[in-house]
Amino acid sequence: MMTELHQNGQEEVRIGYFVCHCGTNIAAMIDVAAVAEYVSTLPNVVVSKDYRYMCSEAGQDLIVQDIKEHRLNRIVVAACSPLLHERTFRTATQRGGINPFFCHMVNIREHGSWVHEDRAEATEKAKALARGAIGRVKYHKALEKRREPVTPAALVVGGGIAGIQAALTLANTGKKVYLVERDPTIGGHMAKFDKTFPTLDCAACILTPKMSEVYAHPNIVLWTYSEVEGIEGYVGNYQVRVRRKARYIDEELCVGCLDCVDECVFKVGNVDDEFNVGLSKRKPVYMPFPQAVPKLVVIDPVACTHLNGGNCQKSCVDACERAAINFDQTDTIEEIKVGAVIVATGFKTFDPKRKPLYGYGKYPNVYTALEVERLVTSCGPTEGEVVCRDGRTPKKIGIVHCVGSRDHQTNRWCSRVCCMYSMKLAHLLHEHTGAEIYNFYIDIRAPGKGYEEFYERLQEEGNHFIRGRVAEITDIPKVAEEEGMLTIRVEDSLAGFVRRIPVDMVVLSTGLEPHADSQDVRRMFNISCSREGFFLERHPKLAPVSTTTDGVYLAGCCQGPKDIPDTVAQAGAAAAEALTLLDTGYVEMEPSVSVVDPIFCSGCKTCLNLCPYHAITRDDAKGVAVINPVLCKGCGVCVAACPSGAITQNLFEDREIFEEIEEVLAYA
Amino acid sequence: MPKPKIGFYWCASCGGCEESIVDVAEAILEIAELVDFAIWPVAMDFKRADVEALEDGAITATMINGAIRTSEQEEMARLLRRKSQVLIAYGSCAHTGGIPGLANQFSREAVMRYVYHDCPTVVNPQGTEPQTEYHDEGRVATLPEFRDVVRSLDQVVDVDYYMPGCAPNPTLVLAAIRTLLSGVLPPKGSVLAPDIALCDTCPRIDTKPVDLEVATFKRTHLHKVDPDVCLLTQGFLCLGPATRSGCGERCIRGNMPCTGCFGPLSNVHDHGAKMLSAMTSILAAEEEDDIDKALEGIPDPVGSFYRYGLPVSMLRRKVDLPFGHRN
């Protein structure tokens, strides 16, 4: 092969091999000195060394110096996963004065020392892998990263606390932000909460100022009652289509005076109020809640008599002094360009009807936790008075934890917030009613700042904590004291026997789930999701807010259940990641992309429909496939599929791969 | 000045390649004017000794068709290589192993057993098998040795050029001979046909959709074939996307799918694997049952994807064959 390269008039290949001890991470299981000794005998290898920490400054300098001293033009580093340090060693290679893509890494830690138990065999494997790398690296070519400009604006999808926080953080740095929310108001779930654990801050007091700030912010374009319909483009250059649903209200004219609501022909509400989770009724023309942002009414086209073709005197129109009501309004489509997208679409709560033994929907006094949030809040349907659906004020209340969570019949995951909000509700319910509170839990999970202390406080306040998953809630009495009560049957797994506890009211601490349409959202933004349906971060530890699609970031519960502090922190992180992209002003594209050689492309169309990133199009005039290098992620699907071998992938050319395989096999 | 000498020779082949030379029609007369034939067993009476008598390199160019299976073919290939300035592997069998190469799926013993015993049309009550030597009344009759595997020509001797096709197309043949005689030679190792797949010139390409998914593969003798629509689109396994063009799309114009005789493009490592990879990429089936169902239309995968190139593929031969004659 050497002679071939000489004949091609290229310079002699001079390889430097560096094997890392990684302290004892590698050296304890692999005889690195022996590997270095072996590699020094391989063709084209000029330098072969082992060093304690290759990624350290001194280790990198070793590469830099040896490149200069020995005129090395290829570098192989055997160390940890390229995911961790490929960039480090490519940069070092570049500092040495040669193209960074002449550097190749061999993973002998995750693929070597950490997974083997026999030192001799692990050492042999490291030698074989080294030989493969030495074989392939001679075919490496000098590659350049590409740069593309970035549109300095961001789209935030979802106006809950995650979206609000992300939007404000970005907007405060001077970037333009489009905040798109499906509902008529921003605020999300947090707006429905009474207080927040463990500090018992009033949720509205800390949230509504932020909502107003969003509305007033000069850098934020807020579109509520709107949905993202489509997105095209690539990192730094997305074109987004947003559908703005008809509100039947002129947003420029409406001031939220509610005169139209007062004058609606329906004198009382006739539709379940979404904000009070069905505990009250609203009219067809309504404002979700008094602190809604934007402070605009909306007309529900399903409930409105006129919009349903009925004969209505349209008293709302007459009531509006500003003539803001416009029944002719239709949906409009906005087209925007953004550089980054933050997906903050939130969650839905578990539907407890899926656990029929808990009697939700059957017994009126069984509530979900979110309903109780509305019951205990002073701006709720009962103005904070806790009265059950059957009119009684509860004296004994049971709170059932883990409803739809940690349950192999429904959702296996822990929803993370239920223990804490259950205890918060226990505290508030006791405060409002003086009732005796029973918590039925599997484990109390209180791993946050001040959380364990809150748990202790609850215990000191006299709340009962019974460890056991509730088996059944029934209104069939067995003894006199169960008459007219809901009896909770549970195996107390600490005491070791089955208890029956009669209560007036049951609160089901329902878990968090992905939205029903999360798969559609996932497909639209071309991101992955875990088996549970929560959107998947690029790396659970090292890239927790990034996704596999560059320029698309995650914040809040759409990525997994989390509490408000974590959500806000994550939203800040997502904003920071987006800002890094927007502020840099350009994106650097890895050159390990696929390339069509138009000379060899027969235009057979095999590849066109395969690209998961929509990077391949057909130039009909020339009859060839064309790959947009900006969209290409280098997954290799088209390379494998191209029947003419016209598509190749940088750093993964056939000869590189085959040479590597052949050399590894030849080692044996 | 003596005319340049040209040789034609055949090894494990069907004779079709010889036909293809005659298929250049009247142009053969033009060629005959320009050259002398040094050896052409199918058309003229030459003996091996005639070739041995020539000086090394005396023949300007020799075209050998057929794969290499026997010791005699091997010897003739070596002899002609020595006597020729330029050696051309002519036709699929010499180029990539061809149809005879499919025998590499079976051991030498299995081939012998079938051909001399088990084949339903064989009548061989004494169980006779060919022997390399036969002695009778002091006289010895010999037969060449039957090797373990079938090889392409370049797996035996150094080859300068390749003329693809089963059989090669007369237009390409004539162009190649004229090029040779012109003295302006292409780079060594060239395949003397365009380096682009058949779809490039296929008259049906516009009927192929961009989002083709194949649910089942059909076989041409069981279904009516639309003469205008892309054969893959109709569900017939057509190797056009993976196969070098230059054949004049003769099969396609005859309403039959491409079977791949021109071999892969220059930058493809393994013709069959590449086509298989392309087909699995556009296969609609995702569940195992559906995949099995789709594959029912390809009852002979090796014969379908490696019809002409098994000996030069990564598979090359059945792995439990003895290694006695590896190259």
Distance CA A532, CA A539 (A): 17
3-class secondary-structure state, position A646: coil
3-class secondary-structure state, position A33: helix
Q: Does A647 touch chain B (CB under 8 A)?
A: no
Q: How many domains does chain B have?
A: 3
**pLDDT, tens digit (0-9, with 9 covering 90-100), for B174-201:** 899 888 888 889 999 999 999 999 999 9
Same domain, yes or no: B67 and B176: yes
Average pLDDT over residues A439-466: 96
Q: How many Cα atoms sit within 13 Å of A435 on the Cβ side?
A: 27
A643 CB neighbours in chain B (<8 A) are: 197, 241-242, 274-275, 277-278
A618, A641, A654: residue with CB nearest B278: A641
Torsion angle, CA of A357/A358/A363/A364, rounded to 10 degrees? -160
Specify if B327 maps to a domain.
Answer: no
> Which pLDDT does position B25 carry in this prediction?
85
Tokens of B282: 């556009």
Considering only residues A420 and A8, tell me which one the structure prediction assigns the higher pLDDT: A420
Same domain, yes or no: B234 and B88: no
A618, A644, A658: residue with CB nearest B197: A644
Specify if B322 maps to a domain.
Answer: no
3-class secondary-structure state, position A529: strand
Specify if B325 maps to a domain.
Answer: no
Same domain, yes or no: B31 and B89: yes
Same domain, yes or no: B296 and B160: no
pLDDT at B231 over 80: yes
Distance CA A456, CA A465 (A): 11
A656 CB neighbours in chain B (<8 A) are: none
Percent of the residues in chain A that have a pLDDT greater than 90, as a whole number: 92
CATH of the domain at B86: 3.40.50.700
- Give the global pTM: 0.70
Distance CA A114, CA A122 (A): 10
pLDDT at A7 over 70: no
B195, B245, B278: residue with CB nearest A606: B278
Q: Does B195 touch chain A (CB under 8 A)?
A: yes
Q: Does A471 touch chain B (CB under 8 A)?
A: no
Distance of CA A440 to the CA centre of its chain: 31
Q: What is the ipTM of this complex?
A: 0.89
Contact by Cβ (8 Å): B162, B191: yes
Q: How far is B312 from chain A (nearest CA, A)?
A: 16
Specify if B38 maps to a domain.
Answer: yes
Same domain, yes or no: B87 and B226: no
pLDDT at B31 over 90: no
Same domain, yes or no: B217 and B277: yes
Domains, chain A, in order of start with CATH, read 2-145 (3.40.50), 147-245+331-347+518-582 (3.50.50.60), 246-329 (3.30.70), 349-513 (3.50.50.60), 593-649 (3.30.70.20)
Domain boundary among B182, B206, B238: B182
B212, B265, B281: residue with CB nearest A645: B265
Specify if B303 maps to a domain.
Answer: yes
Same domain, yes or no: B300 and B170: no
Same domain, yes or no: B221 and B159: no
Same domain, yes or no: B166 and B121: no
Same domain, yes or no: B258 and B170: no
Contact by Cβ (8 Å): A547, A539: no
Range of the domain at B128: 107-146
Specify if B271 maps to a domain.
Answer: yes
**pLDDT, tens digit (0-9, with 9 covering 90-100), for A484-540:** 999 999 999 999 999 999 999 999 999 999 999 999 999 999 999 998 999 999 988
Average pLDDT, chain A: 94
**pLDDT, tens digit (0-9, with 9 covering 90-100), for B294-308:** 889 999 999 999 999
Q: Say if residue A294 is preceded by a cis peptide, omega within 30 of 0.
A: yes
Same domain, yes or no: B75 and B177: yes
What amino acid occupies position B60? T
Q: How far is B278 from chain A (nearest CA, A)?
A: 4
Specify if B323 maps to a domain.
Answer: no
Task: Give Cα separations from A202 to A193, A208, A378, A456, B63 (angstroms).
Answer: 8, 10, 11, 21, 92
The answer for residues whose C-beta is within 8 angstroms of residue A173's C-beta and 6 or more apart is A579, A583
What amino acid occupies position A168? L
Q: Answer whether A646 sits within 8 Å of B265, measured CB to CB.
A: yes
pLDDT at A3 over 70: no
In degrees, to the nearest 5, what angle opens at C-alpha B153 toward C-alphas B151 and B155? 60
What's the burial of A105, exposed, middle or buried (CB within 10 Å: 0-12/13-18/19+)? buried
pLDDT at A551 over 50: yes
Same domain, yes or no: B116 and B252: no
Specify if B318 maps to a domain.
Answer: no
pLDDT at B241 over 90: yes
Average pLDDT, chain B: 92
